Structures are given as C-alpha cells and as structure tokens.
Amino acid sequence: MGSSFGTLFRISTWGESHGGGVGVVIDGCPPRIPLSAADIQVDLDRRKPGQSEIVTPRKELDECEILSGTFDGLTLGTPIAILVRNKDARPESYSEMREKYRPSHADYTYQAKYGIRNWQGGGRASARETIGRVAAAVVAKKIIAQFAPDLEIIAYVKTIKDLIAEVNPMTVQFETVEGNIVRTGDPKAVDPMVDLIKEMRSEGNSVGGTVECVVRGCPPGLGEPVFDKLEADLAKAMMSLPATKGFEIGSGFAGTQLTGKEHNDPFYMEGDRVRTETNLSGGIQGGISNGEAIVFRTAFKPTATIMTSQKTVSQSGEDTELSARGRHDPCVLPRAVPMVEAMTALVLCDHFLRQHTLSVSPETSNSEDVR
Amino acid sequence: MGSSFGTLFRISTWGESHGGGVGVVIDGCPPRIPLSAADIQVDLDRRKPGQSEIVTPRKELDECEILSGTFDGLTLGTPIAILVRNKDARPESYSEMREKYRPSHADYTYQAKYGIRNWQGGGRASARETIGRVAAAVVAKKIIAQFAPDLEIIAYVKTIKDLIAEVNPMTVQFETVEGNIVRTGDPKAVDPMVDLIKEMRSEGNSVGGTVECVVRGCPPGLGEPVFDKLEADLAKAMMSLPATKGFEIGSGFAGTQLTGKEHNDPFYMEGDRVRTETNLSGGIQGGISNGEAIVFRTAFKPTATIMTSQKTVSQSGEDTELSARGRHDPCVLPRAVPMVEAMTALVLCDHFLRQHTLSVSPETSNSEDVR
Amino acid sequence: MGSSFGTLFRISTWGESHGGGVGVVIDGCPPRIPLSAADIQVDLDRRKPGQSEIVTPRKELDECEILSGTFDGLTLGTPIAILVRNKDARPESYSEMREKYRPSHADYTYQAKYGIRNWQGGGRASARETIGRVAAAVVAKKIIAQFAPDLEIIAYVKTIKDLIAEVNPMTVQFETVEGNIVRTGDPKAVDPMVDLIKEMRSEGNSVGGTVECVVRGCPPGLGEPVFDKLEADLAKAMMSLPATKGFEIGSGFAGTQLTGKEHNDPFYMEGDRVRTETNLSGGIQGGISNGEAIVFRTAFKPTATIMTSQKTVSQSGEDTELSARGRHDPCVLPRAVPMVEAMTALVLCDHFLRQHTLSVSPETSNSEDVR
Amino acid sequence: MGSSFGTLFRISTWGESHGGGVGVVIDGCPPRIPLSAADIQVDLDRRKPGQSEIVTPRKELDECEILSGTFDGLTLGTPIAILVRNKDARPESYSEMREKYRPSHADYTYQAKYGIRNWQGGGRASARETIGRVAAAVVAKKIIAQFAPDLEIIAYVKTIKDLIAEVNPMTVQFETVEGNIVRTGDPKAVDPMVDLIKEMRSEGNSVGGTVECVVRGCPPGLGEPVFDKLEADLAKAMMSLPATKGFEIGSGFAGTQLTGKEHNDPFYMEGDRVRTETNLSGGIQGGISNGEAIVFRTAFKPTATIMTSQKTVSQSGEDTELSARGRHDPCVLPRAVPMVEAMTALVLCDHFLRQHTLSVSPETSNSEDVR
C-alpha cells in the first residue's frame, strides 16, 4: 500500500528506474475534465533529465501515453493509467552495485527489507518514480481549478548550501522561477548557484539546499482537524520525495525563538473577509487553511551519488570501497521544484474533494468558500 | 477519515475537550497481548494536566476505562475501545469565544470549514484529543516489544526558546528525562527552562521549543519505499500534533550546509552487522530504517492562548479585542514529550506489522532482521 | 480493519456482548445535521431484545449516549461516538461454553483464529454488535435525506421457512411492516408466522427465512463500475449480518431460468425520465442505480442456538454433548428487518457522498440527478 | 476508489474495452515469489475470447507484459504493473450505441453517473476489465501456496438455464472441468449445455446459469468477525463480476427451509482436528473459515447483448429501437469460471495476509493453522 497516495484523489505509482517503464494510475478523478497527453507532457518536461547543463545527462524524453480513463479529450471518471517507458537505461553502469551498497543510498535498506533488489539503478528509490506523481499532479491541478480558479502553486529554490535567494512569496511569479535553470525566484542568485553546482560536479561532489513553496489563493477550510491536518499531509508529501531531510511551515523552527505575543497572527476584517495581519502560521491554523498564503520549506540533502571513492560494504559482508558511476544530478534542487509543486497539488486536490463531501447540509452552507 | 491513523494498527480518536469525553478505538491489535487499564494509565498520567507547576492547572485525572477488546487481562484481537470522561470542563470560561476567534487558534478555521464549532473549549483542536493517541501507543509499544524487545523510544525537550539542552541521543536515559518537570535530557538545563516558563506565565505570555526523539534498537527494514517512507510517516505523525511547525530527521535543515562527501554515511561491518560510521541519515535511508538510531526533531510554536489582550475579529465580522481566559500551558513542551513518543510508537508499530506481512516467502527469509 | 465499514461515511463498531458495552464511531458525517440521542433510540428500540413475545427475553434497554461529535443538537463534522452499556449480561449462563463449542456458532472459529475468545456470550459474533450499525444508520438516513428527500428504505420478512408473504415492493408501507411483531408486509402471513415461531421455540428448535428490502426513490448514478458496484456493496453489507447465507437482487437466482429476450428490461421515456418497463435488474445496471426501485433479498439461516442436546467437541479436543442455555431468538427475522434497513442506509449514504465528489465539473453537471 | 480491491493484497484495475489497453497494479505482494508473464498467460488464456465455438469470436490474444515489480524472475516486493493491449477493437460496431442505450447494459447508468461514457464498447463494464483480476489472481495463488500448499480452488458451471450438472464438490477435479468447453464438472451435462448455448446463439438469444466454487484445504481462521466476514468478502467479490444477480454459501437460500436442529453442523474430533459431520455452513462460521470445504454459488443472468431488435431510448430522450451488433458471448458461464476462481483467490490471499499479521504473540501461537 506504500505506493498509493491520497484518499479521494488517489494515485498509485509503479515502476523501477530500470525495467519496462514507470507510471501511475489515478483513481477518483471526476468526469468531463479536459485532459490530453500534451497537458501532462508540459510538467514531465520540467522534471525530466537532460533539460539543462546542471542536471543529469541521462537521455529520457519521458514521453507519456494515457492508456485509459479519457475519451474524446475528456476524463471519463474511470481510472486514468499513464505510462512512460524507460529508454536510456544503462544497467552496465551499475554492475559494481550488484555487490556493493552505495553509501546513504537505499541499496542496503532495500536488501534488508526485501531480501532482493533491482540493483540495475535505484529501483523505486530512483527519482524516476516521481514521474507518476508529476503526471498525476497535472490532473490534480485541473480539478483544483474547478474549486479555486485563481489558486497558484509556486515553488522555487530558496537556498543551495549557504547561498540564499531573496524571494517574496507573496509576489514571486512562475515565469521568474521557470526562467532560470536553477529554478530560483531571485534573479541575482542564479549565477552564484549555477557556479556552485558546476563546481561541485567538477569535484565529483554534490550539494543540497531548500525549496520554498507558496500557495496563493487557497480558500479557508481545507484540511482535517486531527491526523490529516493540511500541514501534516504536506509534511508527509514532501518527506516522501527522495533526498528530503526536513519540513517546516510558516515560522517553522525559527518560530520557536519567539514568544506567544510575538508569534500570534492578529485577525482583522478586510471587507467581509477574515484576514491576519502577520502570517507566522503559514496559512494553516489547527490543521485547516485560513485563507492566507500557505508557505513552507523542504530541505534536500546533497545528492548521495558522488563521483568519488567511498568506504562501504559488500552484500556478502566485506568492507570495501566503491567508486560510483552512472549519470546523476550534482544537485537535485532544480528538478525538485516541479516535484514539490506536484506533491502540493496532490495534497490540495485531495483536500478540496474531501471538503466538498461536507457540503451537503441544508442550512447556510459551509461551501461558500470552498465550492 | 481524518480522525484515523495507521494502516494495520489503526486508531480512531474521537471527542471534544468539552463534551461527554474523549477516547480511541484501536483496530488491528493482535490477540493475547497482556493489557490492563493500569498499563495505559501510566502514560496518560505523563500527559495529563495539572501534573506540575509549569503546566495547565485544569484538574483532570484522565482515568481510562477499557470498554472492549480484552478478556482476562489479554487482548482478544477485536477492537479495543478506551474512554476517558471529561470532568473539569468549564465552558463558562469560553463564553467570550462564542463570538470571538482566538488568534492563531483553530476557532476561525473550524467555523470556516464546518459552519459550526463547539466553542466551549478547543473542540478537537484541544490537546485532550491526544489522550486517545497516548492510550493507543501503550498498546503499540507492547506489540513492538514482540518484534524488538530492546527497542527504546525516548523523547526529550531539546530547546525552549533560545535555551539549548545538551543531550547525547545515543546515551540519554528515560529516567533522566522523566526525572524533571521540563522533561529535558540535560539536568543543567532544567532550572533555566523552568525559570523561563514561569517568567512567561507570569507575563501572560508563552514560549515554544523543540523536542528531539531517538529510537534505539530499531531493526533495519521498516518503512516503505515511496509514499509511506518511515520518515514521511513520522513527519506526518509529528505535524499532526497540536502546535507543531517543523520536522527534521538526521542532519535535517543543517544538512543542506554540507556537501555530499561530508554528508554520506560510510558503511562498515561490525561483526556480521552492517553499520554506518556517521549517522547524518538519522537511521533511515530511502525511507527504510537501516538499523542505526532514528533521530528526529519537532518544532512546537509558543502556545497560542496567552493572557493578554489581542486584536481579533468576531464571528459576525467586526474588528474587536479578546482577553483569553481558561487554563492553559504557558509552554506545551513538557507535555508534548509523551505525545511525541506516542506518535513514534504508533508509526513504528504499524510498520512492524506491515513488514511482518512480507515475511511469507519460502527461501531465505527477509524476516531475520524484523521478525 | 474488519470492524469498519464504508469509505466516506465510515463507521467502526466495537464491543462484545458481555463486557463494558458496545458502540460505534462515525467518521465522515457532514456538519450541521440535526441529531439527538432520541433520534437514534427509535431505531435501537426496533432492534432491541425483549420487544415482543417472539424474540429473546434478554432485558436490555439499549439506551444510547452520544459521547462526541454534536453540539447544540447539530453534528459538528467531527467523529460521532455512540455508547450503549451492556446491562443484562449473564455470563454464568455460558459457563459450559467455556469448554464446549456451540455447533454452527463462532466459538470454534474465534478460538482457531485468535487463540482466545470471550466465552461469556457471543463476543463480537453476538447480534449486539449490530447496535452500532443501527445507530449509525440513523445518521446515514439523515444524510441521504439531504440528497433524496423522498427516498424510502423498507425491509420486511418475505418468508419464514416455507411460509411466504405476498408483498408488492412498489407499494408496501413502513407502517404495515412495523404494525406486526413479525415485521412482514403481508397482514395475512402474520398469524401463521407467529404460530410457527412459537411452535419452534416450544420445541427448543429454531427457524430461518428471507428478508426482502426495497429502496424507492433512489436517483440514478449511485454505485461504482467495478469492485464497488452498488449490488456488490449491498451483498457484502447483508452477508456481514449474523446468520446470513445468501443474497440476490432483482431476478436473482430465478433469473437464470430466463433467456436474454425475457430478462432484458426495455427502456422507455416517461416524460423526460428514462424508465424500464420491467425491473428484473432490480434497480441496478452495471453496478450503478438506474432510478428504478432497488429490490433484493437476504437469506437468514435458522438460529444456531437451540435448546436441545447436540453433539460437539470441547476446547481440549474431546467429543462431547452440549445443551445450550442463555436467552436467544427462535427466529432472527423480526429483528433482522431493522438491521437490513440499517446496512442498506449505510451503503446508500456512502455512495451518495462518493457520487457527490464527482460533481465538480464546469459543464453540464452530472449532479442533476444526484445533488 | 471503486477500482481497487483488497486490503493487504491490493489490486487496482484500469482500462476500457476500447482504448489503449487494460491492466492492473498489484500492491502488497511479498518479495521473492517466482513470477513470469508465462505464469500469468495460462489463466488469461482460460479467460480470453475466441477460445471455443461457444464464446465470443472477438480476436484478442490477451498477451500480457509485466512492466514492473519483478527482477530475475522473482517479485521485488514493489508494485507489479501488468498491461494487456486492446488489439481487435471495432468501434464501428458500436456507432449505433453512441445514441442508443442497450437494454440491461450499463450505457444509461454510466451516462447518468458521469455525464459521459466511452460508447465504443462496454467501457469499464466490459468483461475485458476482468483481465486485470485474473492476472492478479495468478500472483495471489502463488502467495496462498506459501500458507497452504494443498489448497485448491475449483469452480465449475453448475447450471445453465434449467440444465443441472451433477457435481460432488468434495471430489471434482480441475482437469474434468477444464476438459470441456462449457467448464462444467459433470461430463454428462456437457453436450446438452453446448447444444443449448448454440441454440440460443442461433436464435440471437442468450442464456444464464450458476457457477459453483469449492475451496478445499483451507485452514481454519481466515476471515474477520464483523464486516469483513469471509463470506461477505466473497459475496462482494462475486457480485462485482459482470452479470451476477445472486450469491449463496453452504445451504444458501434452501437452508431457510430447514429448522435449527436440521441445519446445525455437529462437531466431532478427527484425530486432533476439529471437524463437522455436515457442512451446511459451507466452511465458514461467524465469518471465519472452520477448515471444512468452502462451497458457494453465484448466479449469472443471461447476457444482455442479444442479436434481436429491442425497445430502448436514445441519449436525447426519444423512444427508439436497437439491434445490437458486436461480438458477444451467448452465455458468459464458460468464461466466468476462471473469473470466479480469480476473485476467490484474491479474497483468500488477502485474508491469509491479514491473518498472518495477527501471528505476533509470544505465547502459544494462533499461527499453527495459518502459518
């Protein structure tokens, strides 16, 4: 069950990095939503390898085929199956990994869990698994637009190592982020970040950082009070992405340095809309969106695969060394940006549908904000 | 569905802070596990209000009754229902909240979501909701002990505002933590922390901090590769607790300052056991435990309820001011410690059972590590 | 997980026949639905023991307490916990069952499954478990009324042994059924059925029969195409009731005697409504309601507990004999009628909510039929 | 969510009869189970069209491709995706159905539910959807064999219209059933049944019947006490197959003609094994298997698609007539036999894994019967 996500808008991804392909089945998509493979391809292209000089050169066009669930360009309400074939798999690059565990990778833990693993690549731990998530998120965003046409989800690189982008989450534009290969929201940070990534790669090293994501235009009322708090589901969504080490929302860890008087967000009326003067809550209170911008950050560790000899052990239990080969990102952040947006869309879509199930009461409806 | 947690060991909590009571139903507990109300009471007492001079004085004994699922002191394999009555509810303290939303509380978002709320207290957003979690975790820990008798879950206050406890997660003892009312693992930090909390309360203010949690003795193999990564489920578990703003595991956000060469954990053999020299991974790689200590931190914001006049709005849409009353914790950290442990136990128990379902193959079993 | 039912309107029952009590937690109820304990009591009284001279004399008032999820007489949108205490348990009647398995009861299978059982009564296999279902169904019916105010669910005894009630499912009235202690829809069948049941009891014997259920006024569109077909969920719902041995819908088993030409239901227009001339489909086609009356039948075996010496075995593995004691129904049918209605309501409510989640598309809505 | 089945062994089917193809994703398969496409093909060939002179002549080889989840001929523990392309789709045969609803088909109800349908064939209501079920069941049977190597699942045609096969469920052999194109267990019934089916086809008519299924060698302890009773899950499984109208287990509807004294199955010891003298329970008591043969029957209606002019209505709301075209089975029973076996295997596999999760207790294990 660990390969499914969502309750009402439920996706199930499948596929190893080296095998027949990867894909996703989407169950719970409402009918009559316009959808084509071209729609999906747009976001797959933002995620795919080889898209710029600072990412892995693996040559995968990641062209998708919609196998079911649409007819005449509209969704049918039935499961949507999407397939992307693996094309440029090079298992020979992995022959050494048949016997040796890559440090800080999932080789050892898969072997410990299953007693078997597809050593020809990262298996399900490969970033290729996220293809299905990104594809499904295209559908999710179309559903979200039915509820909140003006809702925007924008992620961007906030930091790489000690380089910090200055970005205002209230005003940052998608075009700015997409206009540079790092996918940061601060034009001045682009060159230093590109230089750092190239330097790391030339040294056979790698680097990490943080992605910040803002959701603007989200109505109040999304999220469930207890376990499925909106921030809890976002935290799980982000921490389910490869290479993540941390999640924080609103004031986050820095908020622990404030007192309650400083931290509380005072309410005020803006016309007939309830607003907060500050937004240390990050747009969510008690697990439920309050109508302010949702702002959160995710930490990505430096890529585990480095082109340097490392101490490790063999599957047969011997101390040894490993020099990684294969084609990898020296920094996952640029390609992580569309993944963060995708997971955000999946969480929001699910919660829009969940909230929609509550809108059945006869009296004054709670569905004013969330259709 | 938002009030249930877990897949195989599944708990469903119910109850408002002011109403008939709160409780939990546990489905999926194996049969013939010894269990009594007294077992559960031990941890409920660690969570209950009024236990020390630095927490809320609300007088609740939080005495539990097991309504079903046990017989002659053993679990039956059927659902275990546990009930704790609300005794010291004082709805009159909340009369002002009938009309006014408390800043950074869930009053407004509940109203926006449901079009109704139990204004006599925090409803489901109250920390009383966690009674069911703590009770269920007692059962979870008994199941974990069947798989890993030596596994230890120890949480402790790591920081309060800018006060930092020096604690070694590999050696900290439960008795040390439980031996002080702050529940920190550093005896030298106790007095400054107590003083700070008392100072905050005397000012009608509040304060937050971080709880660190270590799991020692966890076998490799727990966690699922994709969405239900062990760290993703832990992140969701922690971020579902009231007042949390962030989660990080292993190197966390600070890990983004390192390069791959510095961050990778080299493997080595210790006898026939695979170990890592460092543990920046925090005991989890690729979503699956690797046998090292699992170490993570959760950020708790300063308590929203402060005894100071604050700007807010009324339910009828007027700007106004609110002076909170009621009985509240000036700092949730001391009582958050058993909650963090409880959520950790719930996650681990579920994943032990999930891993157990894989142990059916005929050949060399993967169940050597995880029974 | 086996104690939960439904996907969006999800109920979890708990409790043994001899223990603290029985109850249910309802998750997924929309907010602001009027609800009181008195509403629930009406249907509990139809289910309770001791209600007439042909059912078990166990004295249980089955008075319910709503522990959570309501406020000022309205649902809050949060979990609704309902508790009924066991009052007239007589474990001493069961002392012989501590060692001996009652034939065609669940004593042996529980022991085989769990290695333990609550021998003081039927445990979870007792009809007392259905209290939670009946209570939850009261809430379900209130939600159904939001979608389809004129929808009627009427069940009635169709046969007892070889006695057949002549009932027209299109016209039978609730008052007719509720007006006799057998709960049949045919006034002429009442006396023979009562006589047969009394005769069986006087002989220490028991008898079974069938319950037919009709749903009138159900809009088209309920049910999912593949696994969660409406008739599949109804079948599971009925076969989850104690003592059931069969389920059929529309033409049922007798339909296999017809050819396709005879069996197909021709469509015709009645104004702008699509109708069928016959209804051998039983109101469901392809798993989805078609707007005609839903009609199905459930077979209940003769009560397993009879007041006669029977061959059996002991838990220690010896052939032996057992003379049952305790208080039991010589025929479960009269009390099964509200249970069948309750399970029908739970299935329909869940599918109304599921269908409602599809009503988000911009164009001509599919929500005309199902709001 | 209606396209997924099972809790621990969870399958999700997708695909329309006319589109890219059909398939299934299996989540929850333990690792290191030998599995190849050839294994799966064996059962797909039993289900495929064109296999004999009494089934639809649609030419589909139904060749499957395993896209993920295996490596070197063993399962990986990750999701197994299986794809079968549609090859011989002839949408032109369905042009009339674009406007007209076929009587007793799902055309109208899909349109009512979704406001759209793939009119080029039966969409998800086509029997092609069951390809994924049959494929997944091959995997399920391999897992079952780990728990109960001698367990046999044998289904066979019991009746077609008024023709009755004499079959002893305790002794019938798979080879007997598979040795005739009707798939009945009674050699003497083959010719009359074949003749009847051919006669029906020549008349442009169709016919239905019943399939009986026996599970021999099932250990006691499978099934959950309340909603997920083994017979409830079997009922849902069977009623989710296309064209089913009824389900009964053990004595079934006929059992309502007996009294309790006649119906109860006396226990006796056979060595150290608990047995019953009769098996009117059909191998399940209280929702849990008792170790006796599980025997149940499913009613299939006559095929809705007949080659005769029928009254119907158009999508635009006009009374009209329809003469079906396309290629169809005059009797679904022969091809329903492997579907019934498949669904039985899926239910049993899931419950074996569920029961396995209970086997964690320290004392005398309940896992003696169910490993």
Question: Is the pTM value of this prediction over 0.80?
Answer: yes
Contact A72, D118 (CB under 8 A): no
DSSP tag of B128: G
Chains that touch B (3 or more CB pairs under 8 A): A, C, D
Beta bridge mates, B24:
B13, B82
Please tell me the predicted confidence (pLDDT) of residue D4: 97
D31-44 confidence digits (pLDDT tens): 999 999 999 999 99
What whole-number distance in Å separates Cα of residue A306 and Cα of residue B259? 10
In chain B, the residue whose alpha carbon lies closest to the alpha carbon of C23 is: B81
B75-116 confidence digits (pLDDT tens): 999 999 999 999 877 777 778 888 999 999 999 999 999 999
In this prediction, residues D170-177 reach a mean pLDDT of 98
Q: Which residue has the tokens 């046998």?
A: B291
Single-letter amino acid, residue D265: D
Q: Which residue has the tokens 């998509």?
A: A29
What whole-number distance in Å separates Cα of residue B274 and Cα of residue B267? 7
In chain C, the residue whose alpha carbon lies closest to the alpha carbon of B14 is: C79
- DSSP conformation letters of A128-143: GGHHHHHHHHHHHHHH
Contact C226, D17 (CB under 8 A): no
Cβ <8 Å between B268 and A161: no
Q: Which of B9, B11, B12 to mutate to test the interface with C (most CBs of C within 10 A)?
A: B12
Chain mean position to CA C6: 14
Cβ <8 Å between C272 and D355: no
Q: Which of C9, C26, C27, C32 to mutate to test the interface with A (most CBs of A within 10 A)?
A: C32
What whole-number distance in Å separates Cα of residue D34 and Cα of residue B363? 11
Asked whether residue A370 carries a pLDDT value surpassing 50, the answer given is: no
Asked whether residue B274 carries a pLDDT value surpassing 80, the answer given is: yes
* DSSP reduced 3-state for A72: coil
Chain D residues within 8 A of B78 when measuring between CB atoms: 225
Chain D residues within 8 A of A114 when measuring between CB atoms: 31-32, 76-77
What whole-number distance in Å separates Cα of residue C101 and Cα of residue C91? 15
For D281, the closest of C104, C247, C363 (CB atoms) is C104
Contact B320, B314 (CB under 8 A): yes
Chain A residues within 8 A of D13 when measuring between CB atoms: 79
Query: Measured on CA atoms in the order D320, D321, D326, D329, is the torsion positive or negative?
Result: positive
Asked whether residue D361 carries a pLDDT value surpassing 70, the answer given is: no
Give the CA distances from residue A194 to residues A157, A181, A243, A306, A326, in Å, rounded to whole numbers and listed in that order: 12, 8, 20, 18, 22
Contact C8, C350 (CB under 8 A): yes
In this prediction, residues C332-358 reach a mean pLDDT of 97
Please tell me the predicted confidence (pLDDT) of residue C326: 66
Query: Measured on CA atoms in the order C103, C107, C112, C115, is the torsion positive or negative?
Result: negative
* DSSP reduced 3-state for D345: helix
Domains of chain D with bracketed CATH: 4-356 (3.60.150.10)
For A31, the closest of D14, D21, D115 (CB atoms) is D115
DSSP tag of A258: S
Q: Pinpoint the alpha helices (H) of chain C.
A: 37-47, 107-114, 130-147, 174-178, 187-202, 230-239, 260-263, 333-356
Q: Which helix (H) or strand (E) holds A24?
A: strand A21-27
* DSSP reduced 3-state for B133: helix
Single-letter amino acid, residue D198: K
In this prediction, residues C349-353 reach a mean pLDDT of 98
Structure tokens at C125: 């296999």
Mean pLDDT over the full length of chain A:
93
D39-67 confidence digits (pLDDT tens): 999 999 999 998 999 998 888 899 999 99
Single-letter amino acid, residue B371: R
Cβ <8 Å between B25 and C25: yes
Residues in CB range of C158: below 8 A, 6 or more apart: C164, C165, C167, C184, C185, C209, C210, C211, C212, C297
Chain mean position to CA A29: 20
* DSSP reduced 3-state for A341: helix
Cβ <8 Å between B71 and C118: yes
Instruction: Tell me the three-class secondary structure of B89-105, residue by residue.
Output: CCHHHHHHHHCECCCCC
Model confidence at B368, pLDDT cuts 50, 70, 90, reads very low
A308-356 confidence digits (pLDDT tens): 899 999 999 999 999 866 678 899 999 999 999 999 999 999 999 999 9
Please tell me the predicted confidence (pLDDT) of residue B327: 72
D268 min Cα distance to partner chain A (Å): 41
Contact C332, C208 (CB under 8 A): yes
Chain C residues within 8 A of B2 when measuring between CB atoms: 27
D140 min Cα distance to partner chain C (Å): 17
What whole-number distance in Å separates Cα of residue C126 and Cα of residue C119? 11
Residues in CB range of D128: below 8 A, 6 or more apart: D15, D16, D17, D22, D60, D86, D122
Chain C residues within 8 A of B19 when measuring between CB atoms: 67-68, 71
Model confidence at D363, pLDDT cuts 50, 70, 90, reads very low
What whole-number distance in Å separates Cα of residue C353 and Cα of residue C350? 5
Asked whether residue A360 carries a pLDDT value surpassing 60, the answer given is: yes
Residues in chain A: 371
Q: Which helix (H) or strand (E) holds D311?
A: strand D309-313
A142-190 confidence digits (pLDDT tens): 999 999 999 999 999 999 999 999 999 999 999 999 999 999 999 999 9
Give the CA distances from residue B20 to residues B49, C63, C81, D340, in Å, rounded to whole numbers and listed in that order: 18, 15, 9, 48
Please tell me the predicted confidence (pLDDT) of residue C361: 64
Please tell me the predicted confidence (pLDDT) of residue B325: 66
* DSSP reduced 3-state for B321: strand
Chain C residues within 8 A of D281 when measuring between CB atoms: 104
Contact D209, D333 (CB under 8 A): yes
For B361, the closest of D8, D31, D357 (CB atoms) is D31
What whole-number distance in Å separates Cα of residue B326 and Cα of residue D184? 75
Please tell me the predicted confidence (pLDDT) of residue B265: 98
Q: Is A204 left (phi over 0), alpha (psi -120 to 50) or beta?
A: left
What whole-number distance in Å separates Cα of residue A272 and Cα of residue C159? 62
What whole-number distance in Å separates Cα of residue B21 and Cα of residue B212? 30
Give the CA distances from residue C101 to residues B6, B258, C105, C240, D284, in Å, rounded to whole numbers and listed in that order: 35, 66, 8, 22, 15
The interface predicted TM-score of the complex, written ipTM, equals 0.96
Contact D26, D8 (CB under 8 A): no
* Whole-number percent of chain A with pLDDT over 90: 85
C56-70 confidence digits (pLDDT tens): 888 889 999 999 999
Structure tokens at C260: 């396709």
Residues in CB range of B73: below 8 A, 6 or more apart: B34, B35, B36
C102-150 confidence digits (pLDDT tens): 999 999 999 999 999 998 878 899 999 999 999 999 999 999 999 999 9
- DSSP conformation letters of A152-217: EEEEEEEEETTEE----TTT--HHHHHTSTT-BS-HHHHHHHHHHHHHHHHTT--B-EEEEEEEES
Cβ <8 Å between A28 and C357: yes
B302 min Cα distance to partner chain D (Å): 40
HSE-CB for C105 with a 13 A CA cutoff: 27
Beta bridge mates, C320:
C312
Structure tokens at C319: 């052939």
For A286, the closest of B109, B208, B363 (CB atoms) is B109
Please tell me the predicted confidence (pLDDT) of residue D122: 84
Please tell me the predicted confidence (pLDDT) of residue B369: 36
Beta bridge mates, B156:
B212
Burial status of residue A272 (CB atoms within 10 A of its CB: 0-12, 13-18, 19 or more): exposed
Contact D230, D215 (CB under 8 A): no
DSSP tag of C358: T
